[in-house]
Chains A and B, each alone.
Chain A
Amino acid sequence: MSAFLTYLLNGLAVGCAIALIASGLVAIHRVTGVVNFAQGTFAVVAGLCTSSLLGLGFPHGLSELAAVLAAAVAGLLTGLAAIGKRGTTPLSALIVTLGVGVLAYAVEIVLWGDQPRSAPGLAGSMIVAGARIQTQHLLVIGVTTATFVLLALFFGRTYLGKALTACASNPYAARVVGIDVRKMGLLAFALGGLLGGIAGVLVTPLRPISFDTDVTLIVNGFAAAVFGALTRPVVTLIGALLLGVAETMAAGYGYGSHQLEVALGLMLVVMIVQAGRRSVISLEST
């Protein structure tokens, strides 16, 4: 029973990290219609930056903050490349984000090499309801909870957040009232970078990060985002938590190397189910 609880809590922590990646994907897709395949890159950039800054002797907190800001800048630059030119279609922008991801490999290898890097996090573990959980996992859960609360307040209470929601809801109407939808799209990319960066600094102490870790991160994040139809943040969060728990259970009771297959399998099932639902909706509306 304690093993089950341990896997469950660890799974929730893994799910939280996935949720941060996925919510970045959703934030960008809602406002711009673009599926950002460079989302995992933001986490990698933040993870590698944290590792370097801590290695250079910068203190915890400042290093993580600087790394998250670097990821936000990476998000903004990706946005400029993807939607900076007026009239770029979401499909063209998707291809650009793939290109940015590949370009990022080269930059990361030049700056950090091709070997995995890690960073020290919170040491030790705690007993929760008889289950042992690493303190870093609790930190991941706590920071993710705080981030989602702040996101809800930002989108629900602030003028800027409502303007972003307006762009997602009706881009034409947003333009009618004078909102620059392209600038809002760039802001969404920066926000996506920020969220990816938070995931990166939280995950790096738990697992080494290298230039190509973005593949695992984006597959997991995309699976959760697809669960939320790339538009619904709360459903995406639920999907991410389910995925994190399923992967951890698979690793705990089966083989650790099957984690990615679990994510891919779940993503495939969700996509097939949702494609079926869309077909029914289209048939009913005709």
Chain B
Amino acid sequence: MIDVKDLVVSYGTATALDHLTLTVGRGEMVALLGPNGAGKSTLANTLAGLLKPTSGTVRSDGRVALIPEGRQLFPDLSVADNLALGGWRSGQRDPSLVYDLLPRLAELAGRRAGVLSGGEQQMVAFGRAMMSRPDVLVVDELSLGLAPTVTADLAAHLTALNSEQGLTVLLIEQNARLAFELCRRAYVLESGRLVTEGECAVLADDPRVASAYLGGAIT
């Protein structure tokens, strides 16, 4: 479960998140949409404990893992080492469970992470996050820079973890189509403020949502 109330996060005098309130229920998969600079990654980093709120509260059930935007692997280390370091918090260094989930990673175990394709790197980032045995997974831009087939494959794994293991997921995306396919509910963020929220089926028909992804403001 994620419970964010009246959250303000500032960088000096610039306010990145402005009195944001949102909830993700236990075992739910919810999307967070918004254009560049909306504050999505700031929220992801705050949920992961990397940024401190200026005011407001952030609560979550259990361990939170983050798949950061741009994968953010350790390029000089092997895939196996990247995965093992993913278990730093949990003390879990044996990647066999992740290999069961993503068998391709077992084949890549000895390769340097920096030389892998974008899709393979995203898979490593996914596996690394799962090494911490999270209760809540925050995914920052799953589809960024990936081919649709690769994205679909990763999305299938994410959906399976959510539906079969009850993993709570906050999916931060610019790809509204993908987000609406995977999630039942979504929040839309712009300039650090929540501008709309609701069922994805309803939001998909809202012309204002489409306009936000073309760079226009929601009025």
Extra contacts, 17 of them, besides A169-B75, A169-B76, A174-B74 (Cβ < 8 A), are A159-B85, A162-B77, A162-B85, A166-B77, A166-B85, A169-B77, A172-B72, A173-B68, A173-B72, A174-B85, A175-B50, A176-B48, A176-B66, A177-B86, A177-B88, A177-B89, A178-B88
- Cα–Cα, bound, A48→B198 (Å): 71
Contact flag A170-B74 (CB < 8 Å), given A162-B84, A176-B50, A176-B66: yes
- Cα–Cα, bound, A166→B89 (Å): 15
| Chain A interface residues toward B at CB < 8 A | 159, 162-163, 165-166, 169-170, 172-179
Whether B76 and A179, one on each chain, are in contact in the complex, defined by CB atoms closer than 8 angstroms, is: no
Main secondary structure of the interface of B (DSSP, over half): loop
Residue-by-residue, is B39-58 near A (CB-CB < 8 Å gives 1, otherwise 0)?
A: 00000000010100000000
What is the distance, in angstroms, from A171's C-beta to the closest C-beta of chain B? 10
What is the distance, in angstroms, from B79's C-beta to the closest C-beta of chain A? 13
- Cα–Cα, bound, A172→B132 (Å): 17
Whether B84 and A159, one on each chain, are in contact in the complex, defined by CB atoms closer than 8 angstroms, is: yes
What is the distance, in angstroms, from B62's C-beta to the closest C-beta of chain A? 14
Contact flag A170-B72 (CB < 8 Å), given A176-B48, A177-B128: yes
A-B contacts at CB below 8 angstroms, number = 49
Q: Which residues of A contact B73 (CB under 8 A)?
A: 170, 173
Q: Which residues of A contact B89 (CB under 8 A)?
A: 177-178
Whether A165 and B84, one on each chain, are in contact in the complex, defined by CB atoms closer than 8 angstroms, is: no
Q: Which residues of B contact A170 (CB under 8 A)?
A: 72-75
Whether A159 and B77, one on each chain, are in contact in the complex, defined by CB atoms closer than 8 angstroms, is: no
Please tell me if B81 contacts chain A, counting CB pairs below 8 Å: yes
9 residue pairs, one from A and one from B, having the closest CB atoms: A178-B89, A173-B72, A169-B74, A178-B88, A166-B74, A177-B88, A169-B76, A162-B81, A177-B85
Whether B88 and A165, one on each chain, are in contact in the complex, defined by CB atoms closer than 8 angstroms, is: no
Q: Which residues of B contact A166 (CB under 8 A)?
A: 74, 77, 85
Please tell me if B93 contacts chain A, counting CB pairs below 8 Å: yes
Q: Which residues of A contact B84 (CB under 8 A)?
A: 159, 162
Q: Which residues of A contact B93 (CB under 8 A)?
A: 159
- Cα–Cα, bound, A162→B88 (Å): 11
Whether B74 and A173, one on each chain, are in contact in the complex, defined by CB atoms closer than 8 angstroms, is: yes
- Cα–Cα, bound, A224→B86 (Å): 34
Interface residues of B in 21-69 (CB under 8 A from A): 48, 50, 66, 68
What is the distance, in angstroms, from A11's C-beta to the closest C-beta of chain B? 32
For A178, give the chain B residue with the smallest CB separation: B89
Q: Which residues of A contact B72 (CB under 8 A)?
A: 170, 172-173, 176
